[in-house]
Amino acid sequence: MNNKESSKKNSIIGIAVRVSLVMIVLCGIIYPTVSTGIAQVIFPQQANGSMVKDGEGKVVGSELIGQTFTNPTMFQGRVSSIENHGAGSGSNNYAPSNPELVKRIKESMVAWEVANPDIPVQQLPIDLVTNSGSGLDPDISPASAKAQISRISNLTGLDQAELVQLVDYHTQERDLGVFGEPRVNVLLLNIALGEMIK
């Protein structure tokens, strides 16, 4: 390789290194810093994980990640194959014919019948016995929330009409009127329910 070819090769390597350094600074430092700063100013709640605080100002969860509520006086969320563990998301992605899925759904149906004897299992909304794709879904359908009202009313002494109003108040409609389905955030609903029980 002569000096001319060597110089050309060194020039190309130099250009590649400089372009790489510029792109690292631009895409790895400047862009994330600017976009994070803008998000913090315009959407501070969402940029910090949509954290939810109770009446005393203590963080009790996130609007974006489901929780497992074991207290029968509270609304229950969707089944989670990862126990709503926020470090990762995913589900087993079983086919409807998979014996493990059938077993899990049957167990959920039996648990429903025990906890909610007033509501026949035939009226059980499907989202209360099936996993979401992420395993972290914080929302249930309004029908799923209302199906639990009889149990909660019996255990707390709250009037069913009050509980229906509570669910209606916390029902979020479709985004922009067309995207998604009506839904109820279980954590926010349970915080409001806890205030009513006090």
Mean pLDDT of 29-37: 93
Contact 60, 187 (CB under 8 A): yes
The SS3 call for residue 85 is coil
User: Is residue 121 located within the same domain as residue 172?
Assistant: yes
Contact 84, 67 (CB under 8 A): yes
User: Is residue 72 located within the same domain as residue 165?
Assistant: yes
Q: Which of 83, 69, 38, 95 is nearest to 152 (CA)?
A: 69
User: Is residue 130 located within the same domain as residue 193?
Assistant: yes
For residue 32, the model assigns a pLDDT of 93
User: Is residue 153 located within the same domain as residue 186?
Assistant: yes
Binning pLDDT at 50, 70 and 90, where does residue 3 land? low
The model's pLDDT over 57-86, given as tens digits with 9 standing for 90+, comes to: 888 888 888 888 889 999 999 887 777 777
* pTM of the model as a whole: 0.78
- Give the count of domains, the chain: 2
21 lies in which domain range? 3-45
User: Is residue 74 located within the same domain as residue 156?
Assistant: yes
Q: Which of 151, 150, 146 is nearest to 169 (CA)?
A: 146
User: Is residue 97 located within the same domain as residue 35?
Assistant: no
